[in-house]
């Protein structure tokens, strides 16, 4: 069965430091992958997505992610974190059948000053 | 900009009540979804709809039903609310696979 794993439940990063959030998926063919962010009390906002082509994907708010087929990973990165990046981050993969998504359990990012 | 709206941000209901959660999208999207979000569990798919009057069960449909009478509106119904249905409910829509899903702000439901 398809699944998405986000190994880190909670990460704390100092403001200005770099960030990497991990995401692993299980899927046979080329997956359609997404990263969403959820600020407190809000819905989910798309950060970036990978469908095909260049394996390094640029998103909004200075985020990027790299698709690595050999590692079944789609890790999210940002070179310099801002306090406003504190939120919950979800990795997702499109289901094999249909258009719905399978989400990971999320990683909560805290930013310390 | 795509806009997905949900009828209530916060809702408090009693056990056994029938509860309606409404979702409206303004971009003529074909597909609409209802997810449930719980701490430590991420988002889980309850139901989705790919056309008017069409629906498919997701991973956790028990205790829920849905209605899609118009393309822009997708309703989630809790036939007899129970305390274990206390959760955040998120609605989403998209044009088709593998298009981005756009989410509403969520309804935090508390069942007492």
For residue range B98-108, list pLDDT tens digits in order: 788 999 999 99
Average pLDDT over every residue of B83-100: 90
Instruction: Report, as ranges of residue numbers, the positions in chain A whose pLDDT lies below 50.
Output: none
Q: Which two tokens stand for residue B81?
A: 């609310």
**Residues of A in Cβ contact (< 8 Å) with B36:** none
pLDDT-derived band of residue B2, with 50, 70 and 90 as boundaries? low
pLDDT for res B69? 95
Task: Answer for the pair B39, B23: CB distance below 8 angstroms, yes or no.
Answer: no
pLDDT of residue A41: 78
> Residue B99: its chain A contacts at CB < 8 A?
99
Q: Is B4 exposed, middle or buried (0-12, 13-18, 19+ CB in 10 A)?
A: buried
Chain A nearest-CA distance from B60, in A, is 13
pLDDT tens, residue by residue, B23-63 = 999 989 999 999 999 988 999 999 999 999 899 999 999 99
Say yes or no to pLDDT of B96 above 80: no
- To the nearest whole angstrom, how far is the Cα of A91 from the nearest Cα of chain B? 10
Residue A84, φ and ψ in degrees, nearest 5: -70, -5
Average pLDDT of chain B is: 93
To the nearest whole Å, the CA of A7 is away from the closest chain B CA by: 12
* Partner residue opposite A43 with nearest CB, options B45, B100, B106: B106
Q: Higher confidence at residue A10 or residue B97?
A: A10
């Amino acid at each position: 069965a398809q699944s998405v794993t986000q190994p880190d439940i909670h990460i704390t990063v100092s403001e200005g430091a770099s960030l990497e959030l991990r995401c692993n998926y299980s899927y046979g063919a080329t997956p359609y992958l997404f990263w969403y962010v959820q600020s407190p009390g809000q819905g989910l906002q798309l950060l970036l997505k990978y469908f095909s082509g260049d394996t390094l994907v640029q998103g909004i708010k200075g985020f990027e992610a790299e698709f690595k087929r050999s590692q079944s990973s789609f890790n999210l990165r940002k070179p310099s974190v801002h306090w406003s990046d504190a939120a919950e981050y979800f990795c997702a993969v499109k289901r094999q059948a249909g258009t719905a998504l399978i989400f990971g359990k999320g990683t909560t990012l805290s930013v310390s000053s | 900009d795509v806009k997905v709206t949900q009828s209530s941000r916060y809702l408090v209901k009693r056990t056994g009540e029938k509860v309606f959660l409404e979702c409206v999208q303004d971009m003529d999207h074909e597909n609409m979804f209802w997810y449930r979000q719980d701490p430590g569990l991420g988002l889980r798919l309850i139901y989705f709809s790919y056309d008017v009057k069409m629906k498919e069960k997701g991973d956790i449909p028990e205790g829920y039903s849905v209605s899609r009478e118009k393309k822009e509106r997708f309703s989630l119904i809790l036939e007899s609310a129970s305390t274990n249905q206390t959760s955040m409910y998120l609605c989403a829509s998209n044009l088709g696979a593998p298009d981005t899903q756009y989410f509403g702000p969520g309804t935090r439901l508390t069942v007492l």
